[in-house]
Structure 1
């Protein structure tokens, strides 16, 4: 559906009438049976972001990912083979099902490099393409043909250096899945931003609730007022906050906002340490010396409204990958990995151009530390939300015009569940999908 700018007295939501304006049913975030359907209908059917190609710098480099969102115990290996192809396999030895790649604790993710993968139980070996190359005491087996026992592969493709996997062998190509937003982001210099700060937290809330928190800024002047100076916080709380632009393309969406200007117009708006280090929540003020980040160099999907006060874009690639670009030339990724109806693992990575001096290094560290505080404020609120909607005292909630992407998220997730149930010949027994 084409997108139209919001008129002065109009609404974003009216541009997508299929989303409706009625209260949204949040039973989809508290019903255990609905979560089980999401696991099958969404997380086993869609492309899932698992890392960057920089984690695989040479032939034989690998890392493992635990994938509880796909199924209990599911683990995969991502590796670069001799042809520089990134591949993914189930982390299972074909002999007796032992976990193939792990160190001291089988539940922990690991990384490294090797020529072959060797099972620590009976020493079966597999090459970087997953082929079985060695069987201990092979003549003890009955008509064993090693060609019949390769590692079981998982579909794996790369977009702009981001590695994705899909557990559905019949799914379409990744580039098609990324759609117009993906096409419109091609060429952004992600490969230049290889200095990484990572956070991981176990959150006692449904995975969709955390995405909800990051696709509206209606809460920002209230929840995050301590991140600004007292005078600036009071002004924001009084006048409110509205983003510059919203867009929806198929199952994906985006929100564009002001902020992140470098440096701010008034240094009194920020805290003393931010003035010293030229950094803060919006990242380092000083742009790195690379191509592709100036306003006239940005790909067409970035700052689509071409607003002069633009600060950041947040792209929500369904189901659980957020890609957030900041005007000074750095980016964030979020992933939300559900482990149950009321729990998920939140992963955040901050990517900067490698610093050239101490000041640049400290400015990046300040941004990373400030972000952590910001995210913890959201996470704390979400656990309070989960406990209360879990009582089912209230399950329908009104959403304002700025919360349009929340409507889209819950409707999209519900559509996937309904389609899956139809394909399985079942009817909706939970009544939990929004806008059904």
Structure 2
């Protein structure tokens, strides 16, 4: 695999001297106390992506999201004006969870004209207004206008739905995203609506899994069996270095070159790849998506492989040069467990072969994810022993340094702010 020269002025990590180059601690991934601080300092203050507008296509379409890190469940719904609202999933009468199916702790979705509580039949419209109370005359001085659903700050960017649990968000969503992310505006997300989703409960801290997908140093080794033997062997011997890293505010991106699998020798491809015309990072026939936004392929790689945009705290948009994208979410459930979600987005298939090509890509990425998850559970158990407490990172692992430093910065800012408020 080709190696790319680094900038003349120094390594990637040295571009960001605040990150340092010394060994790091992973205490933030094994400490219950730090996890509790993350919940308050990060997951109740940052903008969090919870889905896309295609999940609520019509008036009354809704879905719920269980968010253990923020200690709540929310409802996302499209109202009669076409706007998307977010509410805490709590009835104002006795606190029952308002929207749920057979399993009250699981996400659900559907379509309705109003929300009706299963417990006492209080009703709410799509804007969260309380519209009906069973035996209303039995209540004392009840003013229904004061007892609507509790709203959650909700904004949409390029079809991605974000929420913020702060009483008053410190930034608008667009300010929070910043230019590196908003330079992606214009990508045809709305044209890629063929969707494949999987999720896994992982026995590892959420940041450790994010770390796994922020560097490709591991790829030629851990995923060797997923690639043609000759290719993976050459990659392992040559090593891998991405040609571009960038950090802006709390967010990060790594951009890499790619390979044209269909140009490989026949013996380097798997038979199923020829049958489906797909494999090693997606369908071979890239769709015509038009001009790409300026934020993509910042290294101007040819061929271009991917750009992985890591949006703080727990959301990734990964663009593939072959004309599709995927998202990752890492939802903490404790200091050493989290829920991992992956969703792959392709254009609607026009033929059975195109459908099979997309399914092959989805199955391949599930295998990659399982390999990483298995490794990370081993990492979690090992670092929890505290037998080793300092770990060396290479230049390619710059984004790992940034994620853990940014996490610490948000906690310090929260502690400073709350201490100041307490002093007053």
TM-score, normalised to structure 2's length? 0.96
Indicate which of 286, 306, 309 corresponds to 1:315.
309
2:198–2:342 CA contact under 8 A, matched in 1: yes
Q: How does 1:378-389 map to 2 (within 5 A)?
A: 378-389=372-383
- Residue 21 of structure 2 is aligned to residue 27 of structure 1: no
Q: CA deviation at 1:62?
A: 0.3
CA distance in 2, matches of 1:384, 1:285: 35
Secondary structure, in 3 states, of the residue corresponding to 2:180? helix
Q: CA deviation at 1:266?
A: 3.9
Match of 1:233 in 2: 232
2:6–2:243 CA contact under 8 A, matched in 1: no
CA distance in 2, matches of 1:108, 1:402: 38
Secondary structure, in 3 states, of the residue corresponding to 1:418? helix
Indicate which of 131, 135, 138 corresponds to 1:137.
135
Q: CA deviation at 1:264?
A: 3.8
- Residue 96 of structure 2 is aligned to residue 102 of structure 1: no
Match of 1:405 in 2: 399
CA RMSD of aligned residues (A): 1.3
CA deviation map 1:131-153 (0-9, x unaligned): 00000111111111100100000
Q: How does 1:6-405 map to 2 (within 5 A)?
A: 6-7=6-7, 10-71=10-71, 74-171=72-169, 172-259=171-258, 261=260, 263-288=262-287, 290-292=288-290, 297-405=291-399
CA deviation map 1:354-376 (0-9, x unaligned): 10110000000000001111111
CA deviation map 1:95-118 (0-9, x unaligned): 000110111111111111111100
CA deviation map 1:372-414 (0-9, x unaligned): 1111100000000000000111121110000000000000001
Secondary structure, in 3 states, of the residue corresponding to 1:263? helix
Q: CA deviation at 1:237?
A: 1.1
CA deviation map 1:76-126 (0-9, x unaligned): 000000010000000000000011011111111111111110001111000
The answer for unaligned runs of 5 or more in structure 2 is none
CA distance in 2, matches of 1:270, 1:11: 35
Q: CA deviation at 1:6?
A: 2.9
Q: CA deviation at 1:9?
A: 8.3
TM-score, normalised to structure 1's length? 0.93
Count of paired positions: 415
Secondary structure, in 3 states, of the residue corresponding to 1:205? coil
CA deviation map 1:167-199 (0-9, x unaligned): 013212111111112211000000000010001
Match of 2:415 in 1: 421
Secondary structure, in 3 states, of the residue corresponding to 1:75? strand
